[in-house]
Amino acid sequence: MTQTSVDVQQQPSGTQTEGAGVSVLPELPVERGSARKPGEEESTSVSNLDRWLARRLLAATGRLPIAIELWDGEQLTVSDESPRFRLRIADRAALWLLAFDPDLQFGELYSDGRLEVEGGLLEFLETVDRALPLSHSNWLSTFIRRARRWLRHNTLARSKANVHHHYDLGNDFYKLWLDEQMLYTCAYFPRPDCSLEEAQVAKMDHVCRKVRLKPGDLVVEAGCGWGALALHMARHYGVKVKAYNISHEQIVYARERARAEGLDDRVEFIEDDWRNIRGTYDAFVSVGMLEHVGPENYRLLGDVIHNCLKPEGLALLHSIGRNVAYPLNAWVDRRIFPGAHPPSLRQIMDILEGWQFSVLDIENLRLHYAKTLEHWLARFEDHVEFIRDMFDDRFIRMWRLYLAASVASFRTGGLQLFQVVFTHPLNNNIPWTREHLYRD
């Protein structure tokens, strides 16, 4: 597989850029080159139809400063500005695949090294995302928009099969780029310059305060990952926790942590599905599971919460979301992430309305997730040589695309992060204001 210049590595890794604006890159030096594999047969020569297709593809992005470099080294642009990004397309088939099925092919071609992005992968994705959301449709821009959607879906929605596949990657892989407590969900940065470790602890406290934990409470957590939040609650809030997860590997890991800390009498990790939650609790929390539940199960999730939440209990759902629901691309739904879906607030109401749950508080932490992902991406790149010993180049390119596209989506509003606090409709034992979240 071709090793071309790797875009994100051009950025200083390990350091965090401030905020979530678009970086303005210095103008690109124009280098001639080809993404073609060395020693391979020369691609067929470029036809006028190829050029027309490439130009339409560029025009559909709203004439952004992007050049396409075709397989013979020919460069095309439809922008009046000097290009800040160059898409290097390795062969005619790649161009046509990209044009006609970008939903599928952007990620496939990028992963295979048949599509290269120069000028910074993250910046490219962010620039395209920022330009497209509200542009007018034509047949090609619709393709591009579907490509953008695909990126988002592909990188952030994960089917159960994919979840298991991801976990089969092993804890050692995640330890290389997650925080030390292994939280694989959006952190909360009280200040933008907090470390990832600080921000993950702050996120756990933010959640605990939102559901107003008090000593002696019994808490249920749906989808507990490697167990950090459940352990944090028991350790710092004096509560007992039942934490559900269908991942055997994570449950085993979490149980070991509980034993090592002497918290196994207060935190029970249960290898089971949220549908099988039993008992009644003072608080229900779920951080980063809802994306995998699927809208078709929202009513059922509402039933489960209704049944397990005490009359004065508070519930919190923390989930990636959208400003408006996108229909899931059929291929993604079938092959990549069956059943996964970042919901819009409208869709979240499907969980809540059946039992007339009262929404007390919704907070959007979109830029906090962009920053969390910046940390992960930087740590990933810092450890890419270790990772290369574990996985092949295609895996690294996929993972890089996943992280970079996620940063871009959170920066440009294609994805949101909602924390929704709610309770039974008749519960008046609710926080009088939200000031208690910000004390200390």
Footprint of a second copy (CB under 8 A):
19-21, 130, 133-134, 188-192, 323-324, 344-346, 349, 352-353, 355-364, 366-367, 411-413, 416, 418, 425-428, 430, 432-435, 437-438
Q: What is the nearest approach in angstroms of a second copy to the Cβ of residue 364?
A: 5
As a whole number of angstroms, the distance between CA 43 and CA 303 comes to 58
Structure tokens at 127: 């620039």
- The angle that helices 393-412 and 366-382 make with each other, rounded to 10 degrees, is 160
The SS3 of residue 261 is helix
Query: For the chain, how many residues are written?
Result: 440
Structure tokens at 217: 């409470």
- The angle that helices 139-156 and 102-112 make with each other, rounded to 10 degrees, is 60
Sequence-distant (6+) residues with CB within 8 A of 176 are: 379, 380, 383, 386, 387
Farthest CA pair distance, the chain: 73
Distances 166 to 10, 112, 174 between C-alpha atoms, Å: 27, 19, 10
Structure tokens at 64: 């952004």
Q: What is the nearest approach in angstroms of a second copy to the Cβ of residue 18?
A: 11
As a whole number of angstroms, the distance between CA 427 and CA 285 comes to 17
Beta carbons within 10 angstroms of residue 198's beta carbon: 16
| Phi, psi dihedral angles at 33 (to 5 degrees) | 175, -175
Q: Which is nearer to a second copy, 14 or 133 (CB)?
A: 133
Q: Which is nearer to a second copy, 251 or 304 (CB)?
A: 304
Q: What is the nearest approach in angstroms of a second copy to the Cβ of residue 362?
A: 4
Q: What is the nearest approach in angstroms of a second copy to the Cβ of residue 105?
A: 25
Q: In the sheet that 85-89 helps form, which strands lie side by side, from edge to edge? A: 75-77, 66-69, 85-89, 115-118
Q: Which is nearer to a second copy, 77 or 319 (CB)?
A: 319
Q: What is the nearest approach in angstroms of a second copy to the Cβ of residue 346?
A: 4
Q: Which is nearer to a second copy, 19 or 170 (CB)?
A: 19
DSSP state of 360: E
Q: What is the nearest approach in angstroms of a second copy to the Cβ of residue 160?
A: 28
- Candidates 35, 64, 107; CA nearest to 406 is 107
Q: Which is nearer to a second copy, 244 or 418 (CB)?
A: 418
| Residue type at 5 in one-letter notation | S
Q: What is the nearest approach in angstroms of a second copy to the Cβ of residue 434?
A: 7
| Phi, psi dihedral angles at 266 (to 5 degrees) | -120, -15
Torsion of CA 87, 92, 94, 96, to 10 degrees: 100
Q: Which is nearer to a second copy, 77 or 127 (CB)?
A: 127
Q: Which is nearer to a second copy, 19 or 33 (CB)?
A: 19
Q: What is the nearest approach in angstroms of a second copy to the Cβ of residue 326?
A: 10
Q: What is the nearest approach in angstroms of a second copy to the Cβ of residue 90?
A: 32
Sequence-distant (6+) residues with CB within 8 A of 140 are: 56, 57, 59, 60, 99
Q: What is the nearest approach in angstroms of a second copy to the Cβ of residue 288?
A: 19
As a whole number of angstroms, the distance between CA 117 and CA 10 comes to 12
Q: Which is nearer to a second copy, 331 or 355 (CB)?
A: 355
| Phi, psi dihedral angles at 421 (to 5 degrees) | -105, 135
Q: Which is nearer to a second copy, 40 or 312 (CB)?
A: 312
Q: What is the nearest approach in angstroms of a second copy to the Cβ of residue 101?
A: 25
Q: Which is nearer to a second copy, 245 or 406 (CB)?
A: 406
Q: Which is nearer to a second copy, 12 or 21 (CB)?
A: 21
State how far Cα 371 lies from the chain centre.
Answer: 12
